[in-house]
Structure 1
Amino acid sequence: MLPLLRRVPAARAPAARALFAGAPRALHAAAVCRALARTGLYDFHEQHGAKMVPFGGYQMPLTYGKVGQVASHKHVREHAGLFDVGHMVQHKFKGPTAAAFLQHITPASLGAKMKPFTSTLSVLLSPEGGILDDLIITKHGEDEFYVVTNAGCREEDLAYIAKHLDAFNKENVSNGYTEHEVMDKQGLLALQGPSSAAVLAKLLPSDFDLSKLTFGQSAFVDLHLPNHNPVHVHVARGGYTGEDGFEISIPPADTVAVAEALLADAEVELAGLAARDSLRLEAGMCLYGHDLDPSVSPIEGALAWTVAKDRRETGDFLGAERVLRELKEGPPRRRVGLTVQGPPAREGAKIFAEDGTTEIGRVTSGIPSPTLGQNIAMALVKDSFHRRGTTVLVEVRNKKHEAIVTRMPFVPNKFYRG
């Protein structure tokens, strides 16, 4: 998730340069043409010494005060970090054909087998089978879904959804109408790390058993804040760091109060985009606009599991022809993990076979891993070079360095499954 739109100035830290390098030119142009937006926590960030940078069409915190990216990263791995993700686009889809519509534009299975208040990662597909965005779909009921998409794809996603929803509603008028609401200004916080459950539990009603809310599940619940009325929020267990954690959707008027209450816990530190990028890469999670883009299919992107078994049988979703063909015959390239010898391999670095002359792919994301103490990367490589243990060469500053295809996640995920 979290596509980016503009480059941060070159004077920023190396981690920032890695995060903001290589976004598609069209996305950069889109950001230049519209003013940067602010989440409801903009003033809160400034009060806490945030270094603000352009990201996804918003001004977002990169780091806070004198706390560097590595220290912030490690705090999330060992304690808890609080991230503002209010730039993400939150949606509601309602109506008797809501599930059918979402299944038309994604390969997800949202029928009776999916229980209420459970979630699934999916992909928004073009008619050609490319990924237009990745998204989380949460089922609140048979005719109601909560969806979160990326900020950087906002205008393109909304136009695409509107176009296909209008046609879908006209074609299915006898079956009922699907309504689409964008939850503008709704707050969204991510509390991530091994201490996150203990921190959140202090604000929950005494009769709410957080241990029964496992990874991928969600609930509506009241948070009890000091000197504040109870705040009704949507809490989803999951996140973008590989750690246990929660994403909390909050009414606009209460977002600052919830952030302050969570930050008041000694276990919690604010964390920004720099730490979020290194955490997600260690966890093997994609960043749209880098590891995924409209040219990449779910099969190429190592996301074949997002194409549900029953959807493979029906093939009744946009882009199904390409997706089903690649499932059967194999894709021309695949997303892989790499451990890199020598200097870090950043986005765009060319990848060669062992002969040093046959170009086989490119790096899509790359960092020095704070947890592992070695350089890691994601890449798209030609099929047959994707097998674990394969040796390849990565070109960094006109020199080729050895890299090994490595299983992801690089750091084992610690999602809470009960």
Structure 2
Amino acid sequence: MSEPVEDLPLEALPLDGWHRARGARMVPFAGYHMPIQYEGIIAEHLWTRTHAGLFDVSHMGQLLISGDGVDEGLEALLPADIKGLGEGRQRYSLLLNEEGGILDDLMVTRRADGLYVVVNGAVKHDDIGHLREHLADEITINHMEDQALLAVQGPEAVAAVARLAPGVEALFFMQAGAFAIDGVPVWISRSGYTGEDGVEISLPAEAAERIATLLCEQPEVKPIGLGARDSLRLEAGLPLYGHDLSPETTPVSADLGFALSKRRREEGGFPGHARIIAERAAGPALKRVGLFVEGRQPVREGGLVVNVEGEPVGHVTSGGFSPSLQAPIAMAYIPTAAAIVGQEVLLEQRGKRIVATVAAMPFVTHRYHRQGAAK
């Protein structure tokens, strides 16, 4: 996700009226009216960590890419192993520019009818334009504008969804399949962006109100706004496009090396390969890290990382108060030499110096339902 483009009229989500009827406070985000909270960010955050929250992420771009040579075409733009992606399997990847900078982060899933790709809302039209420019003419890009996207996240999420879509409980993390809810065909993946177990549900926009209502009739599920979604993903150490990721950051500096598959690292053939391999060997100038911030006051995006002389050497990209840890946390880009867990760094916000300590991420342990994991 990233910020809305100013001066463009805001669009309404398929669930706009549904959110307002439930008391949501709506704000501009990624070109849409989005619910930021219902009963309060902290309460919604903690409910998701202990039960299940319903998030409307219909602003995201849903694409179905198909045609001869689609695997090779996407591998020329992404560092992921698309050829090795089995049906019903999902993979996190990065759309890269020629210098290896990140244009967007996205999810790719193999379906019987093509590759289902979910991109960030604020840059989805840029992404589609980039894909159309670089993919061969015989490859079709279907922007699925008639589909809504809902995420149900939390330790009780799958049990709640399985009452409506039996069989979902058999999925493991990063697996997906076709199901039905109340007779409506849906596509469900066991994934999400909170660090919790849960699912994302792609469904016809015309059925969004009916299915959202059915989901929230489950005792574990409450609607949750954008504010808690942000604090949950920050605790999970997950970067936000337009904040922690940008065309100026590479997968190595963003600490997203896991998104560079072994085969692709060795074979190359994706944008910025030479630079990325060099950074892996020598280390980037700056690296994304987590920070525990001393005191009670969060350091927000735009805060500076400074040396003892007060000279800027890095910057904070996300920051806030952690409801789970009851302490302020942040993500920042700092010199790689200082990116050591336990290392103290100095931050500066509105002229005030604040001490922070480099932290291991995630701040709160991921609870994904992984195949082969111990019970």
Q: TM-score range by the shorter chain?
A: over 0.9
Report if aligned partners of 2:301, 2:316 keep a CA contact under 8 Å in 1.
Answer: yes
Report if aligned partners of 1:190, 1:245 keep a CA contact under 8 Å in 2.
Answer: yes
CA–CA separation in structure 2 for the residues paired with 1:329 and 1:312: 15
Report if aligned partners of 2:162, 2:169 keep a CA contact under 8 Å in 1.
Answer: no
Does residue 281 of structure 2 align to residue 365 of structure 1?
A: no
Q: Tell me, what secondary structure is at the counterpart of 1:45?
A: helix
> 2:110 pairs with 135, 139, 142, which one?
139
> 1:320 pairs with 264, 273, 288, which one?
273
Map of 1:262-411 to 2, 5 A cutoff?
262-342=215-295, 343-353=297-307, 355-411=308-364
CA–CA separation in structure 1 for the residues paired with 2:187 and 2:6: 30
Q: Tell me, what secondary structure is at the counterpart of 1:324?
A: helix
| Unpaired segments ≥5 residues, structure 1 | 6-29, 170-176, 225-229
CA–CA separation in structure 2 for the residues paired with 1:181 and 1:75: 36
Q: Tell me, what secondary structure is at the counterpart of 1:202?
A: helix
Report if aligned partners of 1:231, 1:254 keep a CA contact under 8 Å in 2.
Answer: yes
CA displacement, residues 220-246 of structure 1 (integer Å, 9 cap, x when unaligned): 01113xxxxx01100000101111100
Q: Which amino acid aligns with 1:201?
A: A
CA displacement, residues 232-276 of structure 1 (integer Å, 9 cap, x when unaligned): 100000101111100000012211111010011121111010000
Report if aligned partners of 1:82, 1:190 keep a CA contact under 8 Å in 2.
Answer: yes
- Following superposition, the deviation at residue 162 of structure 1 comes to 1.4
- Following superposition, the deviation at residue 327 of structure 1 comes to 1.6
CA–CA separation in structure 1 for the residues paired with 2:12 and 2:250: 32
Map of 1:167-316 to 2, 5 A cutoff?
168-169=136-137, 177-205=138-166, 208=167, 210-224=168-182, 230-316=183-269
> 1:79 pairs with 37, 47, 51, which one?
51
CA–CA separation in structure 1 for the residues paired with 2:367 and 2:276: 30
Report if aligned partners of 1:356, 1:393 keep a CA contact under 8 Å in 2.
Answer: no
| Unpaired segments ≥5 residues, structure 2 | none
Does residue 87 of structure 2 align to residue 116 of structure 1?
A: yes
Q: Which amino acid aligns with 1:75?
A: W
Alignment RMSD (CA, Å): 1.3
Partner of 1:48: 22
Report if aligned partners of 1:239, 1:245 keep a CA contact under 8 Å in 2.
Answer: yes
Q: Which amino acid aligns with 2:358?
A: V
Report if aligned partners of 1:39, 1:185 keep a CA contact under 8 Å in 2.
Answer: no
Report if aligned partners of 1:188, 1:250 keep a CA contact under 8 Å in 2.
Answer: yes
Q: Tell me, what secondary structure is at the counterpart of 1:378?
A: strand
- Following superposition, the deviation at residue 114 of structure 1 comes to 2.3
Does residue 76 of structure 2 align to residue 104 of structure 1?
A: yes
Does residue 1 of structure 2 align to residue 31 of structure 1?
A: no
Partner of 2:370: 417
CA–CA separation in structure 1 for the residues paired with 2:347 and 2:33: 33
Structure 1 stretches of 4+ with a deviation exceeding 4 A read: none
CA displacement, residues 119-176 of structure 1 (integer Å, 9 cap, x when unaligned): 11111000111000100011124x71000001111222122111112xx34xxxxxxx
CA–CA separation in structure 2 for the residues paired with 1:71 and 1:198: 21
CA–CA separation in structure 1 for the residues paired with 2:344 and 2:20: 46
CA–CA separation in structure 2 for the residues paired with 1:47 and 1:132: 36
- Following superposition, the deviation at residue 202 of structure 1 comes to 0.8
Partner of 2:100: 129
Change in CA separation of 1:389 and 1:316 when aligned onto 2, cut-off 3 Å: same
Q: Tell me, what secondary structure is at the counterpart of 2:357?
A: strand
- Following superposition, the deviation at residue 179 of structure 1 comes to 1.1
Q: Tell me, what secondary structure is at the counterpart of 1:62?
A: strand
CA–CA separation in structure 2 for the residues paired with 1:62 and 1:399: 29
Question: Kindly, what percent of the aligned residue pairs are identical?
Answer: 41
Report if aligned partners of 1:40, 1:185 keep a CA contact under 8 Å in 2.
Answer: no
Q: Which amino acid aligns with 1:4?
A: E
Report if aligned partners of 2:13, 2:58 keep a CA contact under 8 Å in 1.
Answer: yes
- Following superposition, the deviation at residue 332 of structure 1 comes to 1.2
Report if aligned partners of 1:39, 1:58 keep a CA contact under 8 Å in 2.
Answer: yes
**When the two structures are superposed, what TM-score results if normalisation uses the length of structure 2?**
0.96
Report if aligned partners of 1:315, 1:324 keep a CA contact under 8 Å in 2.
Answer: no
Report if aligned partners of 2:320, 2:329 keep a CA contact under 8 Å in 1.
Answer: yes
- Following superposition, the deviation at residue 396 of structure 1 comes to 2.4
Q: Which amino acid aligns with 1:152?
A: A
